[in-house]
Amino acid sequence: MYEKDETRQKALGGETDRLFLPVCRADMDARGWEELDFVFLSGDAYVDHPSFAMAVIGRLLESHGFRVGIVAQPDWRSSDAFTVMGRPRLGVLVGAGNLDSMLSKLTAGKKTRSSDAYSPGGRVGLRPDRATIVYCQKVREIWGEIPLIIGGVEAGLRRFAHYDYPSDALRRSILVDSQADLLVYGMGERQILEIAAALDGGFPVDALREVRGTCYVADETDHLPDFVELPSWDEVSSDKKAFAEAFRLASLEQDPIRGRPLVQRHGRRLLVQLPPALPLTEDLMDEVYDLPYLRAWHPSADAFGGVPALAEVKFSVTSHRGCFGSCAFCSIHAHQGRIVQARSHGSILREIEALSRMKDFKGYIHDIGGPTANFRRPACPDQLTRGTCRHRECLFPEPCKRLDTSHEDYLELLEKARLVRGVKKVFVRSGLRYDYMMADGERGERFLTELCRHHVSGQLKVAPEHASPAVLRVMRKGDIGQYRRFMAKFRAINERLGKKQYLVPYFMTSHPGSGLKEAVELARFAAELDFCPRQAQDFIPTPGSLATCMYYTGIDPFTGEKVVVARTPGERKIQRALLQHRMPQNRALVKEALRALNREDLIRELLRGPAGANSNESASAGAGSGPARPRGRRQRSGRSRSPS
């Protein structure tokens, strides 16, 4: 990636590859360090695992000879918590954590969550609201004009003027509000090494104006030969059409090959976004994931029982990043990009071998995947030379004719993983795009057969998301007929294999485009499947997604068409009740909704049997090859991994 400074690497002091990164002065003393190059302030507890941002960035900088310390979940009311390892030589890195801090705190109903998986013992209240801004304010208070770089999901998805669901209002760019020097968006490895090398070389932070994948604030645009200007803060904050247009223009330039710089005026200052960082090559992906992670939470969390989020990923393997699915409600393609970047088989197998040697390994690899498990390569070879298509999606409304649908590489990888010594079973639990699988014809059927034969633990989780054609169009998802065909194929394959395995579909309520009529369409489809989930996934407007733009504006920014939006708590509650139509507590709401539509004829269909019959209240429901079946941990399709 970059030439390593071997001299400084030796100066790190002794054997460091089996140690946690320093978290206190005693850790520094043990290494013989008088000062750090960087302090990384994180809203999450310190977990040394490649699914956690502070570990990826910290280990990467360490491997290139920089001295990095981690200050995890500092008490933002105390200066001492920030200065525990002294003033760093080169700068301070700030990230709110693997989730936006407000999403970590609040549910879709804006209620405070009862637990925080990224905190020791699942405790709540260990990070402030809008953690990036609060941490930066404290850094400025303590160290003044020290180079201050923000990154991660919260910073990246709030880099422009954006809609904030908790406050139901627009907010300025987080770079403007935090008063940081640079904002790193995307996964960040290329950017942070370039920034670190420049600062170490004596360049002032305000001179770093050519690092792709970063944003900065400027007074003028004379240094930008070609750029796209977005509607300003003043315009978007007073006109929803201007906000929709800003989103549209920005989305069209989020490509590392053809994207142009973007400028958005905030008062007298200009927010400048440079084009996205180039995708990591296979060698660079391997370098990142081959770093000496300890795959454990820091011992300081032991007294609280550890960090719950680690359990979900400890024996899972990230095989790739990026997603060309471009679902409207998902921000992964805005963070990781639409161009898939994959690790080599060798790197993945080395990680599995390392997992197999861990004391608590029971022989089960819980997952080999990414945002979408069966996306292991770019959608088409042209993406690496000309970028992603400007006005077209790869899978919506139908798979593109140029789409590379081959599953052979992923299938070969899974076969190799099964043969690693000590491995009993390899599961696939990341989201799978069944429309992509079906588009692969006979090869896709072979992949599904091998998946059912070796890699499904009784349940396969997939995400049709909705059943209404109107909502699926807004979601940028294919028609429900694709899911019906997939169900039939899944059932036939399992019958042929002599296995009793079940599909667990994920559906989303209150998504833009879904009014009462569409919610009833979803309820009828769920009833057809004999499916009534214990938990329903309510749409949550998160910064950076197309669906959030539509939720705020009521406009599809790409077509200009009006979009139905369920805004009130009452509307959202009814849509959720319709999906959970057989739960006794929802009967009255279901009847109310059907009467409002003059569809009393559906009451018997949705509420058939005694109150609560078949509600399956104790488990996630299965569908597709049988009735409700074993319970399983809910995991959303398209889960982001290692959001650096």
Contacts of 637 (CB under 8 A, 6+ apart): 372, 431, 432, 461, 462, 463, 465, 506
Query: For 441-477, how does the pLDDT look when each residue is reduced to its tens digit (9 = 90+)?
Result: 999 999 999 999 999 989 998 999 999 999 999 999 9
pLDDT at site 617: 35
What DSSP string describes 64-114?
TT--EEEEES--TT-STTTSTT---SSEEEEE--SS-HHHHHB-TTSPBPS
What does the pLDDT average to over 245-264? Answer: 97
Mean pLDDT of the chain: 91
For 356, phi and psi rounded to 5 degrees?
-65, -20
Q: Who wins on pLDDT, 78 or 625? A: 78
| 1-36 per-position pLDDT tens digit | 334 444 433 433 344 457 999 999 999 999 999 999
Q: How confident is the model at residue 335 (pLDDT cuts 50, 70, 90)?
A: very high
Q: What is the DSSP letter of 563?
A: -
Residues 490-503 have a mean pLDDT of 96
Return the axis-axis angle of helices 345-356 and 282-289, rounded to nearest 10°.
10
pLDDT of residue 11: 38
**Protein fold of 6-214:** Rossmann fold (3.40.50)
Query: What is the pLDDT, as a whole number, of residue 225?
Result: 86
**Distance (Å, rounded) from C-alpha 112 to C-alpha 324?**
33
Name 23's Cβ contacts closer than 8 Å, sequence gap at least 6.
46, 69, 70, 71, 72, 84, 85, 298, 300
CA distance 501 to 457: 8
CA distances 560 to 250, 361, 511, 579, Å, are 16, 53, 18, 30
The count of residues in the chain is 644
Q: Tell me the pLDDT tens digit for each residue of 61-112.
A: 999 999 999 999 999 999 999 999 999 999 999 999 999 999 999 999 999 9
pLDDT at 633 over 80: no
| Assigned token pair, 551 | 């939720």
Compute φ and ψ for 303, nearest 5 degrees. Answer: -60, -20
The dihedrals phi and psi of 262, each to the nearest 5 degrees, come to -120, 145
Model pLDDT for residues 531-540, shown as the tens digit of each residue: 988 888 999 9
Cα separation, 551 vs 564, in Å, equals 8
Structure confidence at residue 17 (pLDDT): 53
CA distance 308 to 538: 23
Residue 608: predicted pLDDT: 76
- What's the confidence (pLDDT) of residue 594? 95
pTM, 2 dp? 0.91
For residues 82 and 101, give the distance between their C-alpha atoms in angstroms, rounded to a whole number.
19
